[in-house]
């Protein structure tokens, strides 16, 4: 998944959250909106939320962790 799409997903979740918590079925709505699996949305939220709790900027850290995929 491209990093730009991951950031858009996290921003959509962040706007729908209240006091840092998501209501029921918000992840399902965002998953349908971006046409991705619900577990991917939940993983992005969990990762971004942990960075927010530590006080680290999320723009850089929500990126995909797989940098060098494939042959060297």
The structure's pTM equals 0.75
pLDDT tens profile 10-63: 989 989 999 888 999 999 999 999 999 999 999 999 888 887 777 776 664 565
Q: What is the spatial distance between Cα 46 and Cα 20, in angstroms, rounded to a whole number?
A: 11
In three-state secondary structure terms, 49 is helix
Helix (H, G, I), strand (E, B) or coil at 18: strand
Q: In the chain, which ranges are E strands?
A: none
Say what the pLDDT of residue 52 is.
76
Instruction: Say which residue the tokens 């006091």 belong to.
Output: 19
For residues 37 and 10, give the distance between their C-alpha atoms in angstroms, rounded to a whole number.
Answer: 14
């Amino acid at each position: 998944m491209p990093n730009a799409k991951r950031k858009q997903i996290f921003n959509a979740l962040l706007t729908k959250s209240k006091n840092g918590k998501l209501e029921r079925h918000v992840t399902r709505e965002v998953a349908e909106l971006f046409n991705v699996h619900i577990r991917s949305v939940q993983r992005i939220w969990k990762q971004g939320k942990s960075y927010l709790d530590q006080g680290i900027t999320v723009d850089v850290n929500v990126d995909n962790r797989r940098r060098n995929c494939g042959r060297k």
